Amino acid sequence: MAERIGFVGLGIMGKPMAKNLVKAGYDVTVFNRSSASIKELVADGATAASSASDVASKSDITVVMVPDSPDSEAVVLGENGLLAGASPGDLIIDMSSIEPAISQRIHAACADKGVHFLDAPVSGGEPFAISGDLAIMVGGNAGDFERAQPLFGIMGKSAVLCGESGAGNVTKLANQVVVGANILALSEALVLATKAGVNPETVFNAIKGGLAGSNVMNAKAPMMFGRNFAPGFRIELHYKDINNAAKTANDLDLPLQLTAQLQQVLKALVGWGEGGNDHSGILSYVEKLSGVTVTNK
């Protein structure tokens, strides 16, 4: 018999991920702070729950997709949280991007109750959440990873076991540093091209096939010169991830200069009220400093 699946957190990422599990034929029970997303999932064939605890009581494996560390702690460990309704042998998969130390704390609390736990943050943003092509980075036990593989195969195009508990979120922080640094470098490159009188789209087409080319460039450059900053992954969420990277680096006594610079850039953008824009909007920071607007027109 197929395992019963729970899903808590039906936001910009969680909702399409849960929908893909429903479409794949799983018995999915859902809960979210906002009722609109619950109703949408129920219309697709999911079952509504009254709380996270209620989800866990009706599920063998529960997926969590919430914004940050305090949210994960509340959903799993809080009053009416998953642990309140989970049974020994159940598996909780936290696919949120949070501090590795918090993942380890949640893992320890779950282990005390005989509940299995994986941290499994993702990369790819809303478009890949919709298409089921997320990259999934996992920390935890190999047996639990194998148990979760059928779900990972529906929600993502790749899933890698990166190490013990917390390793998934360490890997996600590394990913976010690389992605953010790429977007900031791309922003400066397109501002340079524009100021020099060379069309930024032409520059993109000329360099994307060379060593500078990347998935980040392919996804974000057209948004930049097309002036489309509708969120696939919001600046405020990237800022949260970089804050977590900076905190983790500080805990490890590491001087990460690019991470610190990126943290300040994202902090400024959030302060300017641009946190709801896609992180391709990092371009706005460079434009404001230079007085140059990137466009292919």
Q: Which of 98, 256, 292, 274 is nearest to 181 (CA)?
A: 256
Q: Which of 15, 19, 172, 220 is catalytic?
A: 172
Contact between residue 209 and residue 200 where contact means Cβ atoms under 8 Å apart: no
Spatial separation of the C-alpha atoms in residues 10 and 197, rounded to whole Å: 45
How many CB atoms lie under 10 A from the CB of residue 82? 31
Spatial separation of the C-alpha atoms in residues 73 and 79, rounded to whole Å: 10
For 232, left (φ over 0), alpha (ψ -120 to 50), or beta? alpha
How many CB atoms lie under 10 A from the CB of residue 200? 21
> At residue 160, what are phi and psi to the nearest 5 degrees?
-125, 130
- Residue 208 appears among annotated catalytic residues: no
Assigned token pair, 113: 């109750």
Spatial separation of the C-alpha atoms in residues 156 and 4, rounded to whole Å: 19
Sign of the Cα pseudo-torsion (251, 264, 230, 208, in order)? negative
Q: Which of 154, 165, 160, 161 is nearest to 28 (CA)?
A: 154
SS3 1: coil
SS3 247: helix
Active site positions, annotated: 172
